[in-house]
Chains A and B, each alone.
Chain A
């Protein structure tokens, strides 16, 4: 097993009792990254982040430095919006960063705002996270009082207000244009891109950078230690360290910060330092590698590195760093239904294929579970999936404004192709698909030949 001994970057204060206080933060190198950033030009800060090859940690995995560069020149004001609306099933990392180390996030916000020229920043925290809201409010108050936020920060000409904003319960608001709608006081429904790419037309139709909490939390380290050192960690497209939440049927569920690219799924699930393996006598049935939206992986994927390119080529994604492990005792029909119910409940209702499709998928799966499945239900499910996301491909094709609808297709295609016999046992029929299923991770069991 390859388990990297690289020291953690964003989780260094998780074990401290006072890591969330200004005193605790300053005693452990806090705000040094901001000082380093303010000593160089905004452009140079942007170059440092580009050199780090920092990928966004929210789910889409877009390079942060490149994203910053999309703001059209000469259009002011610009805004920075922090996406702290963590709600992808299986995902648990941003809440920890906000509760345990709010100043690290605030320092990241300051560095990013300085670099892109944002004159105001909004920190959007998921509504259900009361402790994170309290910790961030206190941290902001202390940082204002100490001169780290506000007018003429640390005696320079850099000025910034950071406004704490709470959501109110809606998964879709994690989609960046929906988050902007929500921040403008509206229902959280995604906007069409183009024209509403946030970098060009975001908050109040001004250039806006929306960054995930973990993405920003990496910036203080990058400014203190240099982008080049960050890029030495990891492999291929995925540099640095990353937080992964390992949950489900493992002995030691937990949130682990590991080196990108060199650590494998097998390490995270089985190594005693991380997930610690499955229960006695249990075997692996499937695992979700990157949150509920991701196609499922199986035994044959365990040795893939935690690297965006390799995981993408295998037909899934690292997404939000959420690994959900299902052992051989799992009722996959039920697991599939539960994930699909999530998307049906969280569909914002704007696009017909998603609004109608996800709720019908949920209803059909529910009747199969209730023993009322029909012989053609498997074909019906896949036909609806094909309507939401033609070709059932990976990356998914969209008939909708945002990827929520296609996300409901991943668990169904995963469960139906791999565990067809379990569905057939409940609803009868042949289980044959009426449509092509092209996603590479939608694999039958190794001893089965596809289509027979």
Chain B
């Protein structure tokens, strides 16, 4: 049951320093854990709790609220098919059923080889591109059953790794805040009136 690796622990500390209060880093650190292991392991939650100074129960409390966090391993490819209103009107449900039949599983389940998990999801903000789906949160628009089949064939052979990293990896570009140009956190109880506001106020009423 994994905790953060040494490299990820350094990264976790760096993420925590961006926030005025450490607990704000909770969701970013859960994403980091899921990126490392493909799901959020119990030990990872314990480690996060230590890093930000809360209890493991609090970490679980937050974690369990959000749909993206998986408390057990899921498929390498998480196929999220939208069936909400705009997609429903133009074949979203039929697309979901096609994919379920093709993979031999119902939504919410994972194929025996651990390759695919299918989910019947809510609106993913691609309504004008309906019916749409995401694989590991990468978008596919106006998906026909044939296009879905071709996509699944590619994924079976890991032919789209450039485009679709394994489950858990979201942004492959990380924000870097260079120490030299950082403005610094605005901490409650410490931060004063910003200098540009004070100056502007002084200029109006010297």
Q: Which A residues have a C-beta under 8 Å from some C-beta of B?
A: 41-43, 74, 76-79, 86-92, 94-95, 114, 117-120, 126-131, 133-134, 137-138, 140-141, 144-145, 147, 149-151, 156-161, 163-171, 182-188, 204-206, 245-249, 253-255, 288, 292, 322, 324, 326, 330, 334-335, 338-339, 342, 345-346, 348
Contact = CB atoms under 8 A, between A and B. Distances in A.
Contacts of A74: 193
Contact of A76 (B25, B193, B196): B193
A133 B35 CA distance: 15
Closest 5 CB pairs of A and B: A185-B26, A169-B67, A168-B66, A150-B181, A77-B186
Contact of A170 (B66, B170, B181, B196): B66
Nearest to A329: B89
9 contacts: A127-B68, A129-B137, A134-B171, A134-B173, A144-B176, A165-B27, A166-B31, A185-B23, A247-B89
Given A128-B80, A133-B170, 14 more contacts: A90-B86, A118-B186, A128-B125, A128-B134, A144-B178, A158-B196, A159-B195, A165-B27, A165-B28, A184-B21, A324-B85, A326-B89, A334-B88, A345-B122
B170 A94 contact: no
Interface of B: 18-21, 23-28, 30-31, 52, 54, 61-62, 65-69, 80, 83-86, 88-90, 122-130, 134, 136-139, 170-178, 181-188, 191-197, 199-200, 203-204
B183 A89 contact: no
A131 to B, nearest CB: 7
B183 A163 contact: no
A168 B173 CA distance: 17
Given A128-B137, A166-B27, A185 B62 contact: yes
Contacts of B52: 185
Contacts of B188: 77, 204-206
Contact of A89 (B28, B86, B139, B193): B86
Nearest to A325: B89
A141 B175 contact: yes
Contacts of A78: 186
Given A130-B171, A168-B66, A92 B27 contact: no
B118 to A, nearest CB: 16
Interface of B is mostly: loop
B120 to A, nearest CB: 10
A127 B126 CA distance: 14
A185 B24 contact: yes
Per DSSP, chain A at the interface is: mixed
Contacts of B122: 87, 89, 171, 342, 345-346
A151 B123 contact: no
B175 to A, nearest CB: 5
Nearest to B136: A130
Contacts of A335: 85, 88-89
B89 A163 contact: no
B89 A249 contact: yes
A157 B125 contact: no
A348 B67 CA distance: 12
Name the residue in B89, B172, B185, B191 with the highest tally of chain A Cβ atoms < 10 Å from its Cβ.
Answer: B89
B181 A140 contact: no
A77 B187 contact: yes
A328 to B, nearest CB: 12
A119 B170 contact: no
Contact of B183 (A150, A185, A247): A150
Residue of B127, B188, B200 ringed by the most chain A CB atoms within 10 A: B127
Contacts of B67: 168-170
B142 to A, nearest CB: 9
A114 B169 CA distance: 34
Contact of B86 (A130, A247, A255, A346): A247
A91 B175 contact: no
B183 A151 contact: yes
Contact of A119 (B61, B128, B186, B203): B186
Contacts of A165: 24, 27-28
B104 to A, nearest CB: 24
A167 B200 contact: no
B127 A91 contact: yes
B125 A117 contact: no
A136 to B, nearest CB: 8
B181 A144 contact: yes
A120 B175 contact: no
A345 B66 CA distance: 12
Given A90-B86, A131-B138, A334-B88, A342 B181 contact: no
A168 B30 contact: yes
B173 A138 contact: yes
Nearest to A349: B65
B91 to A, nearest CB: 11
Nearest to A322: B127
A368 B194 CA distance: 59
B127 A245 contact: yes
A169 B68 contact: yes
Contact of A253 (B23, B62, B127, B192): B127
A41 B200 contact: yes
A257 to B, nearest CB: 13
Contacts of B61: 186-187
Nearest to B64: A187
**Residue of B170, B187, B193 contacting most chain A CB atoms (<10 Å):** B170
Contacts of A77: 186-188, 191, 194
Contact of B88 (A76, A140, A169, A338): A338
A261 B65 CA distance: 40
A90 B177 contact: no
Interface centre among A90, A114, A255 (most CB of B within 10 A): A90
Interface centre among A86, A133, A167 (most CB of B within 10 A): A133
A302 B80 CA distance: 34
B122 to A, nearest CB: 5
